[in-house]
Chains A and B, each alone.
Chain A
Amino acid sequence: MSGHRAATRLAVSGAATAAALVLLARASAAPVPWHAGDVARLRLSWSARPERIEVCRTRSAEEIAKMPEHMRQRTECEGRFASYALRVTVDGQVAGEAEVRGAGLRHDRPIYLLREFPMPAGAHRVRVSFTRRETTDDDAAAFAPVAAAEADTGLYAGRADREAAEHARRARAAVPPRLGLDTTLTFAPRGVALVTFDAVARRLEVRTGPAASPGTP
């Protein structure tokens, strides 16, 4: 190959390589649309244990006596886990309604809620209600420690109190029968307002900015 042809080929191959690399870099970072328009979003996201609706009765001394010592619970409860009605209205219009239950086949796992509602940017009256669908005579579970029996001695001393305390702890950990939020939110263009359940304050709250975290710097 002559020197001139070799130089030409070198130039052409260099230009072709440069063009291929530019194409590679462009394809590697193509600006692909994700969220169209200036639409904002209301996001509902929380995790909470469903309430257990129980009917409890106190076992008689004869019944307890027939049971192995380590199984002698005073109170026998039967029941199921509550389901909830979620209703979201925006500016008086129903944006979404759903029945929410705990996860798992028996619905005994926590409720994992994640719903999103697109809406125009600006101020909107937002109402969220999360209400237990089952009605009971008394929202507070009737469960009180009964008088200690003779068997509650030794290793089992104080068992009735512990049963009551455990029951109360579970009731406190469950989501309240009624949760509500009624507020006016101002949505920035392409902004997200998050409605979540504060397990400590036991109420719904709104967040519009990231929490300090490894993933959301």
Chain B
Amino acid sequence: MSLTPLERAARRLIAALDAAAARVYGWAWNPFHQMGTVAVLMLLVLLATGLYLLLFYRLGAPAESVARIAADPWLGGWVRSLHRYATDLFVIAAALHALRLFAQARSWGPRSLAWVSGLFTLFIGLVCAWTGFVMAWDTFGARLAIEGARLLDILPVFSEPLGRIFSGDGAVPTAFFFVNLFIHIVVPLGLGAGLWLHVSRVERPVLLPPRGLAWAMVGALVVASVVLPASLGPAANPFALPATTPTDLLVAWWLPLSERVTPGVSWGVVGAASLLAVLVPWFTSRPRTGSWTPSTVDPRLCTGCNQCPQDCPWGAITMVARDDDRPTLVARVDPALCVSCGICAGSCAPMGVGPRGLTGRDQLFDIRSRILPAFTPAPAIVAVCCAQAPAAHVAALRARGAHVHAVPCVGNLHSSAIEMFVRSGAPGVIVYGCPPRDCVGREGPKWLRERMFNDREAELQPRVDRDRVAIATSAPGDLAGVLAAYEAFATRTVALARPAAEGDVEVDVECEPVPYEEAAP
């Protein structure tokens, strides 16, 4: 996969974060793999805590009511802190999620809608956070309100400059706090719409982290809320000039910068940055050739089994009527939705679908022509690695004598390729996939396991000894885990009888055609 220099830099950063988290928590508990779902989890926490806080918020006395909530030692204090910390974590999670997708070249083509709607959701979240801080009406809230008024006052929208509201020339009207609260409550509806758009083009979207991780994160935030309550500055006073404000830099990191320049410059920077971010799909788009070729279907081979539409993580494949006289449906790929992950190729028993060069037949041809000759005189264990696997892992496996076979995604690996390795004399095949929630094809490791061990089409044939096949995970920072899995597998295969290499392996693939009458709705 070709990456731009910026993508490579982002990938190095993400890999370093992943490696650090994997060493500390283990890859299965690495929260950085879950940032998209963590953002959604934080939205749920914000919704729950926000509804509680709303019960005690008073428009007529915003600062006092929030101070009263914060002073409540039983519930209000930590619920407010949890609301605040969940906001911070939402912003962090959404930003890291975007960075990961950018680093993995998942920001263009069919994913453009997800990219833009994700940015929209983050922007809406920041607006919501802004109004939330203003609700508290402490010095930080007033600072945000004053800066917001300064920025808005250069737009020809309001008849009276908003800035005067906070000058002390009269009371800050309750209407201001009402409008602010209204925005704070209504804007999350936009978050919901943005989230719906964000996942609208994926099949089986995963919205929440694994249950254990989700509870652990919420629990940790609750503990932090109790032990380290979120700050609340002194009540806003237009006749005092505070030296500092307790500023949430995760949400308002831009505030000290914006205050130093004119509103026009601030708007210009915001506009340019927003435009750049929205245009990332355009900047990072590639020609749909080479490894980015969309899948195609060979109608002569398609039996109409309806498996590839079920496995495609992007909903890019549908079954349509054939234009010949065969009594089945035929798969059709929508190139505008296909991300070239090749997972459909692994799902197709007759090997009639996939991106060019990645279909099952292409895989077998490649193995026959390029890899099997290297098996002489003694075949080695084959380690199939995802192209995303860290180079250090691949090198370490090679150093241990494994024959490394790279695939774009383990979900692309056809079961017949594994059969061919084993029947050609390889002692065993171990497939290293990415952590399940960090798969660029979204569902590669899941479908691989189903195809190898649970008879999902295109299943590994029963004639292949399952003791000679293993699945493991290659996560950045977990070289020890990769090597441990390899050593364990090697030990297991040593105990097995040496397989006899067949001379000219022909892999029979089996697939039951579905008659048109049964498949048609």
Q: Which residues of A contact B (CB under 8 A)?
A: 9, 12-13, 16-17, 21-22, 24-25, 27-36, 39-41, 43, 45-47, 103-104, 109-110, 112, 114, 190-192, 194, 196, 207-217
Contact = CB atoms under 8 A, between A and B. Distances in A.
A191 B88 contact: no
A215 B241 contact: no
A28 B231 contact: yes
A32 B250 CA distance: 12
Contact of A192 (B61, B240, B249): B240
Contact of A212 (B171, B242, B247, B248): B171
A198 B231 CA distance: 38
Given A33-B256, A103-B159, 4 more contacts: A16-B25, A24-B88, A24-B89, A194-B167
Nearest to A40: B241
Interface residues of B, number: 58
Contacts, number: 159
Identify which of A34, A36, A43, A109 gathers the most chain B CB atoms within 10 Å of its CB: A34
B140 to A, nearest CB: 8
Contacts of B250: 24, 27-28
Contacts of A25: 85, 224, 228, 230
Nearest to A31: B244
Nearest to A208: B239
Contact of B85 (A28, A41, A43, A208): A28
Contacts of A191: 239-241
Interface of B: 24-26, 29, 59-64, 84-85, 88-89, 137, 139, 143, 159-161, 163-164, 166-174, 176-177, 220-221, 223-224, 228, 230-231, 235-250, 255-256
A39 B168 CA distance: 18
A104 to B, nearest CB: 8
A112 B237 CA distance: 21
Nearest to B20: A16
B88 A34 contact: no
A12 B23 CA distance: 10
Nearest to B240: A190
A25 B250 CA distance: 10
Contacts of B24: 9, 12-13, 16
A194 B169 contact: yes
B161 A112 contact: yes
B84 A28 contact: yes
Identify which of A13, A30, A190 gathers the most chain B CB atoms within 10 Å of its CB: A30
A21 B61 contact: no
Given A25-B230, A214-B60, A215-B177, A34 B169 contact: no
B244 A33 contact: yes
30 contacts: A9-B26, A16-B24, A16-B25, A21-B224, A24-B85, A24-B224, A25-B228, A29-B246, A30-B248, A33-B243, A33-B244, A34-B139, A34-B241, A34-B243, A35-B242, A41-B241, A45-B168, A47-B164, A103-B159, A109-B159, A191-B241, A192-B239, A194-B238, A194-B239, A210-B168, A211-B168, A213-B171, A214-B62, A216-B168, A216-B237
